[in-house]
Amino acid sequence: MLLATLVVTITYQAGLDLPGGLWLDDRDGQNIGHPVLQTTHPTRYRVFFYSNSAAFVTSLVVIMMLQSKFLLNRHTLEATLVLDLFGLITAYGAGSTREVTQSIYIVALAGIVLVYVIVHITIRDHDAELVDDEEVKHLDDKRKVLLLVAVLAATLTYQAGLTPPGGFWLADDRELGHRAGFPILLDNYTRRYNTFFYCNAASFMASVTLILLLVNPKLYRQGIRCRALYVCMLVGMFGLMGAYAAGSSRNLKTSVYVLTLVGAVLAFIASLLAIFLLGPYLNPKK
């Protein structure tokens, strides 16, 4: 329910606040209020629009399916969720960039993460069956935490990827080389934009892949036991931090400050864990 609700939210917003912005005047035969992307990249716009719409409608269907015990006892719900997430991936790949190579990179990244997890699970030795009901409950509790983190990261990165920081150029300027519908940050701070784009895309794809794996009980239980899904979560979190550091500021010192702050927090957490784990050994009971 949480996943479907959040997908409905972000796809609804993305469908109304389209990537690339809207034309603000009717110069050169443009229509005021019409999507810039529809004019500059019509094929890309159609792929984004229909994929985003498919994910939106599918999520609504999932919410309605959750009201039926008959459907919950079958694989229909899982198949619908997978279709929902693939629509989300396609929409992100089409709407977050204007370059074909970058769109291919985004989709390929999801495949790489998925293959890594499956290979990791395959090469590790695991028992075919879980030991007892207590272990099943323990793994299901971990699944809920991983799913919550993955859904949060996917929600943030989907919105940020379609509407990157700095906004879009809303008109062509041949003298300055500005192109309507392209991110302003790309022209003014190319390296910073590329850092933001790739970190955000990596976080989004790692999070969506993690969600796909968490839908299947056989995969997520084995994946949790061999720590493969935790690797996906870490990739998503570090990608999120990198994207925030690059996109939230235009000053190098500020970005370094953000990364330093992240490092300090991680060091503090690590020290607390060390104290917690080593405390009994450092202060043995007399």
106-156 pLDDT per residue, tens: 888 877 877 777 776 666 655 545 556 777 777 778 888 888 888 888 889
Note every long-range contact of 175-183, with CB atoms under 8 Å and residues 24 or more positions apart, other chains counting: 179/40, 180/20, 180/23, 180/36, 180/39, 180/40, 181/20, 181/21, 181/36, 181/37, 181/39, 181/40, 181/41, 181/98, 182/98
Show Cβ contacts of residue 253 under 8 Å, excluding neighbours closer than 6 positions.
Answer: none
Helix (H) or strand (E) holding 211: helix 190-215
- Cα separation, 285 vs 90, in Å, equals 59
Nearest by Cα to 112 from 180, 202, 30, 243: 202
Return the pLDDT at 50.
Answer: 94
Return the pLDDT at 120.
Answer: 66
Return the pLDDT at 282.
Answer: 58
Return the pLDDT at 278.
Answer: 65
Return the pLDDT at 140.
Answer: 78
Return the pLDDT at 224.
Answer: 74
Return the pLDDT at 196.
Answer: 92
- List, run by run, the mean pLDDT of 10-residue segments along the chain (286 residues): 80 88 76 84 92 90 76 68 85 88 82 74 56 72 84 90 87 77 87 91 88 77 76 86 85 77 76 67 56
